[in-house]
Amino acid sequence: MTKLSYAKALNRALADELARDPAVCVFGEDLGAGLSGLTPGLQDRFGADRVVDTPLSEQAFSSLALGAALTGMRPVVEFQIPSLLFLVFEQIANQAHKIRLMTGGQTAAPVTFVVPGSGSREGWAGQHSDHPYGLFAHVGVKTLLPATPADAYGLLVSAIRDPDPVVLFGPAGAMGVREDVTEELVPVPIGSARVHRAGRDVTVVAAGHLVHDALAVAAELAPEVEVEVFDPRTLHPFDFTALFASVGRTGRLVVVDDSNRMCGLAAEVIAAVAEQGIALRAAPRRVTRPDGAVLPFALALDRAVQPDRAQLRAAVLAAVGAA
pLDDT, mean of each 10-residue run, the chain (323 residues): 89 98 97 90 96 94 96 96 91 95 93 90 73 93 97 98 97 90 91 97 97 98 96 98 98 95 94 96 94 78 87 96 67
212 is catalytic: no
Task: Give Dmax over CA atoms of the chain in angstroms.
Answer: 59
Instruction: Supply the pLDDT for residue 127.
Output: 73
Say if residues 203 and 177 touch (Cβ distance below 8 Å): no
Which regions of the chain carry the CATH code 3.40.50.920? 194-319
Instruction: Please name which of 216, 213, 266 lies closest in space to residue 238, comparing C-alpha atoms.
Output: 266
Q: Say how many CA atoms lie within 13 Å of 3 toward its Cβ.
A: 3
Q: Give the separation between CA 110 and CA 24, rounded to whole angstroms.
A: 10
Instruction: Supply the pLDDT for residue 82.
Output: 87
Instruction: Supply the pLDDT for residue 1.
Output: 57
Give CA separation, 209 vs 21, 105, 145, in Å. 30, 36, 9
Which regions of the chain carry the CATH code 3.40.50.970? 2-181
Instruction: Supply the pLDDT for residue 183.
Output: 81
Cβ within 8 Å of residue 88, ≥6 positions away: 58, 59, 62, 79, 113
DSSP 221: H
Tens of pLDDT, residue by residue over 262-302, are 989 999 999 999 999 999 999 999 999 888 777 777 888 88
Supply the pTM of this predicted model.
Answer: 0.95
Q: Give the separation between CA 54 and CA 86, rounded to whole angstroms.
A: 18
Fold of 194-319: Rossmann fold (3.40.50)
Q: Which residue among 97, 128, 131, 212 is the active-site one?
A: 128
- β-partners of residue 180 are 3
Instruction: Please name which of 59, 60, 235 lies closest in space to residue 139, comparing C-alpha atoms.
Output: 235
Please state the CATH superfamily assignment of the domain spanning residues 2-181 in this structure: Thiamin diphosphate (ThDP)-binding fold, Pyr/PP domains (3.40.50.970)
Instruction: Please name which of 145, 149, 158 lies closest in space to residue 264, comparing C-alpha atoms.
Output: 145
3-state SS, residue 174:
helix
Instruction: Supply the pLDDT for residue 212.
Output: 97
Instruction: Supply the pLDDT for residue 27.
Output: 97
